[in-house]
């Protein structure tokens, strides 16, 4: 179980402090793929940064803490302060752009031995890397290539290989397939699903593509303007959403063979600089009431394991 306790993440700017994640409170069971969805600027990536413990200026964590699902070798609890010692050993990260994450001037194999444990021999590890990379459907020569010699899909497979090499407990994947074509994307996502089933790690999967979430996730978290607005099992969230934003998000996309007219969500999310009162989705919500504009809804469990932050959620039950 990974517990996020009332996380508030601030960015310091010339205009002052702004909260990009504002009071997120969640319990995430281990060994699942959790999908995180929402518009750009809703705090998805900031949430990933905090879980990864990559907190440095201008990002700060004024309140809240995280309880991870593993402990240090001495049995002490891991916090956002000391999680850095476990980077790529117990917690790893798959970035969006593999081209800007791999070092362009050294060969891929040298980047694998970057995070060598003490007392391990380079040659042994490289041999392991070679067999591992082949298991993931890459030619063995790919390890000896420079990043620019590989195609986008191959590079992203290399990133998946790096992130899963030590079988970490947690993997954070921030839009790992957004830059790829559908066919390549499917290949990588199927690989990630197979690896997760074998290793039983917890994956936080950030994407704005609801189709991708439907294919691979076990649980879903929907974020809107720095708040968690819905959280539950993927099947429930997709089939019986409790928050009007989730409903609009899944219904807005066209599908092949379906001739119905689709509407996007009108309006735009509020600026986080404004004095935000009440529900942050109120201005764009079709179900808005007077209560929504004055009182902020809390994330409440409406069905077993399925919660939403909406005053009108009962109407959607």
Partner 1 sequence: MKTVLKTENLHKVYSLGSFLRGVKINALDDVNLRVESDQPVIISLVGESGSGKTTLAKVVLRLIEPSSGSAVVYDQQVAGKGVRPAKREFLSTVQPIFQNPFEAFSSYRTVDSYLERTAMFVNGLSRTQAVGAMEEALASVGLKFVDVKGKYPNQFSGGELQRVSVARALIPHPQIIIADEPVSMIDASLRMNVINLFLSLKQKFSTSFLYITHDLATAYYISDYLAVMYRGCIVEFGEARIVLTNPQHPYTKLLLESIPSTKWKWVRKQMAESDIETKEYRFVGCKFHNRCSLAQDICIQKRPLAIKKADGRDVYCHFAE
Residues at the interface with partner 1 (CB under 8 A): 39-40, 137, 151-153, 181-187, 189-190, 193-194, 208-212, 214-215, 238, 248-250, 252-257, 261-266, 268
Three-state DSSP class for 290? helix
Omega cis (within 30) before 284: no
Place of tokens 């089933």: 197
**What minimum distance in Å lies between the beta carbon of 130 and partner 1?**
18
**What minimum distance in Å lies between the beta carbon of 60 and partner 1?**
25
**What minimum distance in Å lies between the beta carbon of 252 and partner 1?**
5
User: Are 69 and 1 contacting, i.e. CB atoms less than 8 angstroms apart?
Assistant: yes
Cα–Cα distance measured from residue 147 to residue 102, given in angstroms and rounded to the nearest whole number: 7
Beta bridge partners of 225: none
Backbone angles phi, psi at 134, to 5 degrees: -65, -35
In angstroms, what CA-CA distances link 208 with 49, 199, 303? Answer: 17, 26, 25
Nearer to partner 1, 35 or 168 (CB): 35
What contacts 53, CB < 8 A, 6 or more positions away?
Answer: 80, 81, 83, 84, 87, 91
Long-range contacts of 255-263 (CB under 8 A, 24+ apart): none
**What minimum distance in Å lies between the beta carbon of 106 and partner 1?**
21
Nearer to partner 1, 65 or 97 (CB): 97
DSSP conformation class of 243? S
**What minimum distance in Å lies between the beta carbon of 266 and partner 1?**
7
Nearer to partner 1, 81 or 198 (CB): 198
Nearer to partner 1, 141 or 290 (CB): 141
Nearer to partner 1, 67 or 181 (CB): 181
Three-state DSSP class for 160? helix
Nearer to partner 1, 259 or 275 (CB): 259
Nearer to partner 1, 147 or 168 (CB): 147
Nearer to partner 1, 55 or 193 (CB): 193
**What minimum distance in Å lies between the beta carbon of 224 and partner 1?**
10
Cα–Cα distance measured from residue 171 to residue 183, given in angstroms and rounded to the nearest whole number: 23
Pairing of strands 91-94, 2-13: unpaired
User: Are 265 and 245 contacting, i.e. CB atoms less than 8 angstroms apart?
Assistant: yes
**What minimum distance in Å lies between the beta carbon of 145 and partner 1?**
11
Q: Look at residues 202, 195, 198, 238 and name the one whose alpha carbon lies nearest to residue 220.
A: 238
Place of tokens 């007219």: 261
**What minimum distance in Å lies between the beta carbon of 284 and partner 1?**
9
């Amino acid at each position: 179980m990974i517990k996020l306790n009332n996380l508030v993440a601030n960015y310091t700017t010339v205009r002052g402090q702004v909260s990009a994640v504002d009071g997120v409170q969640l319990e995430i069971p281990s060994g699942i793929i959790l999908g995180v969805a929402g518009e750009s600027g809703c705090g998805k990536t900031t949430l990933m940064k905090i879980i990864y413990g990559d907190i440095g200026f201008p990002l700060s964590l004024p309140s809240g803490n995280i309880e991870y699902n593993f402990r240090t070798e001495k049995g002490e609890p891991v916090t956002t302060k000391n999680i850095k010692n476990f980077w790529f050993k117990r917690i790893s990260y798959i970035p969006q752009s593999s081209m800007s994450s791999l070092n362009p001037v050294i060969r891929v194999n040298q980047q694998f031995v970057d995070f060598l444990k003490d007392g391990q021999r380079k040659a042994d590890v490289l041999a392991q890397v070679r067999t591992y990379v082949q298991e993931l459907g890459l030619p063995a020569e790919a390890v000896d290539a420079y990043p620019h010699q590989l195609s986008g899909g191959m590079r992203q497979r290399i990133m998946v290989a790096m992130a899963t090499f030590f079988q970490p407990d947690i993997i954070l994947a921030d839009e790992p397939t957004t830059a790829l074509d559908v066919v390549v994307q499917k290949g990588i996502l199927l690989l990630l699903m197979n690896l997760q089933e074998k290793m039983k790690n917890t994956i936080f999967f950030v994407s704005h593509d609801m189709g991708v979430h439907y294919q691979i996730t076990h649980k879903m978290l929907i974020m809107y303007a720095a708040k968690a607005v819905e959280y539950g099992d993927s099947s429930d969230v997709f089939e019986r959403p409790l928050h009007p934003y989730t409903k609009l998000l899944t219904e807005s996309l066209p599908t092949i063979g379906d001739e119905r007219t689709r509407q996007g969500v009108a309006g735009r999310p509020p600026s986080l600089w404004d004095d935000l009162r009440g529900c942050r989705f109120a201005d764009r919500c079709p179900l808005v009431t007077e209560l929504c504009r004055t009182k902020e809804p809390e994330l409440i469990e409406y069905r077993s394991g399925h919660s939403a932050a909406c005053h009108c959620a009962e109407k959607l039950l």
